[in-house]
Amino acid sequence: MSENSSPELQYLEPKVDVEHRDDGNLVLSSPHPLGQGVAQLGLYLRHWAEAAPDRTFLAERNTDPNGGAWRKVSFGAARSQADAISKALLDRDLGPERPLMILSGNSLKQALLTLGAMQVGIPVAPVSPAYSLMSQDFAKLRHIFDLVCPALIYVEDAAPFAGALESLDLDGVEVLDGCGTAFQDLLATTADARVETAFAGQGPDSVAKYLFTSGSTGLPKGVINTQGMLCSNMQQLQQIWPFLLEQPPVLVDWLPWNHTFGGNIVFNNAMANGGTLYIDGGKPAPGLIDMTADNLRRASPSLYYNVPAGFAALLPFLETDEALRDSFFRDLRLIFYAGAALPQDLWRRMETVSMQSLGRAVPMVSAWGSTETAPMATSVHWAIDRAGVIGLPVPGTEIKMVPNGGKMELRVRGPNVTPGYLKRPDLTAEAFDGEGFYCIGDAGLFADPENPVKGLVFDGRVAEDFKLTTGTWVNSGGLRLAALGAAAPVLQDVVVAGHDRDFVSLLAWPNLVGCQSLSGESDLDAEGAVSSEAVRQHIRDGLGTYNNANPASSTHISRLLLLAEPPAIDANEITDKGYINQRAVLENRGGEVGRLYAETPDADIIVL
């Protein structure tokens, strides 16, 4: 057991002002004023390059199991290398209308390239590697390419991306291969006054990056991320979590930088607060989660970020490997989840392994927002004891709560909100209401209606709830969490079906690690998991117990079908963070939904 006994974290005092309007709307805001932040992210790098030049800023290992020691880059080295890259990109005439596009995943080289581009006004468009490596038609990649019109495309290693690159019209576009000598040529460039002039010309309205939403339907949208959005979000984070500046964070993180969680909150947190980011080449997927576990044996985080799917994949390792568990918790001060709702079962299991290692539970908190909000719009900055609480508006940001179909829809306004979508003024106009609040599509409610300072609770997506034939509303998000908790640990995710049907059913994917543990078969694959009687009986027992306590038609689960075929990224069923798009799954898998509601269900259907 670790001897760690870290002091209690210092948070900004939770406060909220609530405006009650005659139309039933509420507007929430923080009485804490937003302080003056920096004008552009590059100023954070330059500050720490002077204040702590030798401190490790970024580190990575090879992605193979024997990746060896961490390769590290200090703040001082990162600043000089970013400046060299800035000059090299400016020499190629990159700029606001000639952006940089990145196809590969997180790496030291990508980080330096991104920093060098953004600080001199060259927008960066990081694209999900899955659009190049897992897609069959490259439709999303071509769509993004046509929107961005990049002057330069970066890939860490061109070989795996050959097919994707061949699908693009690269006339006049330079492709930079990180494995070749060209990247070293960038670093060998001598920065000059042109870099300083371009750096000084950047401000809050400068475009830092284009981040592409996964797209619930259709093709991805390019969310404009300005320097003002990202810098205000870091100022907000520093105000609500003042402990970040007292002790620079140490992060071990896999979250992809083409998403706002990893690319904005995690990466910028390390840079803004003089922290260290160990780039984790793993992810919550079979085989790759082992790499995450190995990295956590070699580097102990002080703040750990993840999505619920990540915690679900990591927990079996923490529960069975004492050395890993103690390395993980040794310096850990705070655990943070976001990106999707966290099942309470995962919360309890995280507390249990924390108690096993430290004799106390490391605090767990969350926040809420989207790509369009930089991403943090609300955050928890006090001790909580359950999942689901998404906090209060951060300083400078307003949350409007609008009655919508029996729920309170949440809308956002503030300096952290996007000005719109790249080359889509029509979508931009649709995304905002008449008062300039961004319509995010999520719902929330007060944790304690009599005491708003207790914060908001996530109440699912407004569009995902549905009615049964009886006219009864089904809370899809709440039911999903309940099912995952009741059947833990054998389900990775579920999709709730039942719109205009007589009863609720589920499509579900197995959690292979959980199924292997339950069945005692270490080589059990997805096909084996869906047919395993031990797994199926565990689901019957768990959901049967749940149904006994929740007999109402809106909460009772009548049938379940386990799916061996994973969700498809080309069909918008899943993002590379593991978030399942309920609507897309139901539309794409109409045959499976039909089987759930057949008059006589087939043998694969688990009837409850």
For 129-194, the DSSP string reads THHHHT-SS-HHHHHHHHHH--SEEEES-TGGGHHHHHTS--TT-EEEETTSSHHHHHHTSPP-HH
Q: Are 118 and 86 in contact (CB under 8 A)?
A: no
Q: Could you give the count of Cα atoms lying within 13 Å of 115 in the half-sphere of its Cβ?
A: 28
Domain boundaries, the chain: 69-202, 465-607
Report pLDDT digits (tens) over 205-243.
999 999 998 655 568 999 999 999 999 999 999 999 999
As a whole number of angstroms, the distance between CA 136 and CA 73 comes to 36
* Beta strand pairing call for 398-404 and 26-29: antiparallel
Average pLDDT over residues 19-45: 98
Non-local CB neighbours of 170 within 8 Å, separated by 6+ positions: 153
As a whole number of angstroms, the distance between CA 560 and CA 608 comes to 8
Average pLDDT over residues 569-590: 85
Q: Rounded to 5 degrees, what are φ and ψ at 190?
A: -95, 120
Angle at 550 between CA 509 and CA 386, to 5 degrees: 70
Residues of 111-140 as b/e, b for ≥16 C-beta within 10 angstroms? bbbbbbbbbbbbbbbbbbbbbbeebeebeb
For 451-469, the DSSP string reads -GGG-EEEEEEGGG-EE-T
Q: In CATH, which of 3.30.300.30, 3.40.250.10, 3.30.110.70, 3.30.1360.20 is domain 465-607?
A: 3.30.300.30
**How many C-beta atoms surround the C-beta of residue 172 within 10 A?**
8
Q: Residue 463: what pLDDT? A: 80
Q: Are 258 and 59 in contact (CB under 8 A)?
A: no
Q: Are 476 and 493 in contact (CB under 8 A)?
A: no
Q: Are 579 and 531 in contact (CB under 8 A)?
A: no
- E strand or H helix that includes residue 195: helix 193-200
Report pLDDT digits (tens) over 39-61.
999 999 999 999 999 999 999 99
Average pLDDT over residues 378-402: 97
Average pLDDT over residues 421-426: 97
Average pLDDT over residues 544-564: 96
Q: Residue 382: what pLDDT? A: 97
Between the alpha carbon of residue 136 and those of residues 53, 102, 169, 437, the distances in Å are 45, 19, 18, 38
Question: Tokens for 409?
Answer: 């829809």
Q: Residue 6: what pLDDT? A: 47
Report pLDDT digits (tens) over 76-108.
999 999 999 999 999 999 999 999 999 999 999
Q: What are the percentages of helix, strand and coil residues in the chain, rounded to 5?
A: 35, 20, 40
Give the closest residue to 521 by CA, choosing from 534, 538, 537.
534
As a whole number of angstroms, the distance between CA 464 and CA 499 comes to 10
Question: What is the separation, in whole angstroms, between the first and last Cα of the chain?
Answer: 43
Report pLDDT digits (tens) over 116-135.
999 999 999 999 999 999 88
Report pLDDT digits (tens) over 189-205.
999 999 999 999 999 99
The architecture in CATH of the region 69-202 reads 3-Layer(aba) Sandwich (3.40)
